[in-house]
Amino acid sequence: MKIIAVHAYTVRNQTAVPYVWRKGLPGSDEFTEQTWLRLVTDAGIEGWSCAVRGPIALDLIERRLKPMLLGKNPLLKEQLWHEVWEIDRLEEFPIYMMGVVDAALWDITAKAANLPVYQLLGGYRDSIEAYASTVTYATTEEFLDVADQCLARGFKAIKLHAWGDARKDAALCQALRQHVGPDIALMYDGSAGFDPYESLYLGRALEEADYLWYEEPMREFSINAYKRLCEQLDIPVLAAETSDGCHYNVADFIAQGAADMVRTSWFYKGGITGALRVAHLADSFQLSAEVHGMGVENIHLCLAIRNNHYYETLVMGNPVVFEKRIGPDAHVRAPDAPGMGHDVELKTLEKVAVARI
């Protein structure tokens, strides 16, 4: 099989539900841009993947990835994965571009095998429980109201993205535990908003409130800072979400004792190939590799990786808007169709694309 054409289409939509993302960080943009990558093969199979950016993704696909892909065998995913890393050495890709080609290649491979991606990857389960991962709301009362809506929708696990103020966030986390009782799994995500001292203060509050994990309190630049935090706390620290370098970097987090659980995702860890490497690396140390973020690629990963426990689904707006794929029991399944199962139509894209190659 050979790749005979590489196309990309950028689409732009008004953001349906605007949201805030902790104090000091920008929230939602007014418009959401996505660039769809389409690989055409001489076997009549097409591979799709979606880069969640506009012009920057289009530029990198046109200038670097298209020349690399034309004429190549799409089934040699491992070879092409390493070629992307070679180009990354020169180009320093944004981390979310590292897996865009790989995901489209897995789409082709799974279509050729006539299987949904997760079954091709091994397949550990057919559905998985989702946790409600909040955006940042204005007040404690509003967070508690949102939590009630999530519980009414069937969720049994909730993760907070709060304000980024250690004392206020700690009080919120404790108020939420009081509110929902002992049987709901609660997690907290610091979105790298804290220094080591604030991280320790907040971590102790989360321990007291029996949280399941403490995610990314600091930027993931200093493995030493994470190592100290892991030594000081009993609650599992979940790290290496946005750190660059895929399993090469996650290996150091694990070896140094700088994470009790690690993050993996197609989005930040180099596609399906990279995400699996991280998951298997963690598994060899009997650590969990929790899949970060939404989307159909991550659903396939959640269903294929044994040492992952939930699917993360963002909840936003009030009244809360839930992701359409979540079932009434808060479980999610992968599309049955062979491949990744993207909901994308060429005809529509050709009509609505604001830029293309």
Q: With contacts defined by CB under 5 A, name the span among 16-24, 72-80, 234-242, 273-281 that binds Mg ion.
A: 234-242
User: In the bound complex, what is the minimum distance in angstroms from residue 264's beta carbon to Mg ion?
Assistant: 12
Closer residue to Mg ion (CB): 93 or 214 = 214
- As a three-state string, the secondary structure of 177-188 is HHHHCCCCEEEE
Sign of CA dihedral 52, 58, 59, 64: positive
User: In the bound complex, what is the minimum distance in angstroms from residue 157's beta carbon to Mg ion?
Assistant: 14
- Is residue 299 within 8 A of residue 122, CB to CB? The reply is no
Rounded to 5 degrees, what are φ and ψ at 175?
A: -65, -40
What's the CA gap between 16 and 31, in Å, rounded? Answer: 9
Closer residue to Mg ion (CB): 10 or 243 = 243
Residue nearest to Mg ion (CB): 189
Closer residue to Mg ion (CB): 9 or 253 = 253
Interface with Mg ion in residues 335-354 (CB under 5 A): none
Q: With contacts defined by CB under 5 A, name the span among 25-33, 92-100, 235-243, 323-331 that binds Mg ion.
A: 235-243
User: In the bound complex, what is the minimum distance in angstroms from residue 292's beta carbon to Mg ion?
Assistant: 6
Query: Please, what is the end-to-end C-alpha distance for the chain in angstroms?
Result: 22
Closer residue to Mg ion (CB): 109 or 264 = 264
User: In the bound complex, what is the minimum distance in angstroms from residue 51's beta carbon to Mg ion?
Assistant: 20
Closer residue to Mg ion (CB): 58 or 239 = 239
Half-sphere exposure of residue 42: CA atoms within 13 angstroms, side-chain side:
9
Closer residue to Mg ion (CB): 102 or 189 = 189
Closer residue to Mg ion (CB): 143 or 213 = 213
Contacts of 315 (CB under 8 A, 6+ apart): 132, 133, 134, 135, 146, 150, 321, 322
Q: x/- site string to Mg ion, residues 135 to 174, per CB under 5 A? A: ----------------------------------------
User: In the bound complex, what is the minimum distance in angstroms from residue 241's beta carbon to Mg ion?
Assistant: 5
User: In the bound complex, what is the minimum distance in angstroms from residue 274's beta carbon to Mg ion?
Assistant: 17
Closer residue to Mg ion (CB): 264 or 307 = 264
User: In the bound complex, what is the minimum distance in angstroms from residue 215's beta carbon to Mg ion?
Assistant: 5
Interface with Mg ion in residues 236-275 (CB under 5 A): 241
What's the CA gap between 163 and 143, in Å, rounded? Answer: 11
Interface with Mg ion in residues 20-59 (CB under 5 A): none
Q: x/- site string to Mg ion, residues 174 to 213, per CB under 5 A? A: ---------------x------------------------
Contacts with Mg ion by CB under 5 A: the residue count is: 2
CA angle (239, 245, 249) in 5-degree steps: 50
User: In the bound complex, what is the minimum distance in angstroms from residue 192's beta carbon to Mg ion?
Assistant: 9
User: In the bound complex, what is the minimum distance in angstroms from residue 242's beta carbon to Mg ion?
Assistant: 8
Closer residue to Mg ion (CB): 11 or 239 = 239
Binding site for Mg ion (CB under 5 A): 189, 241
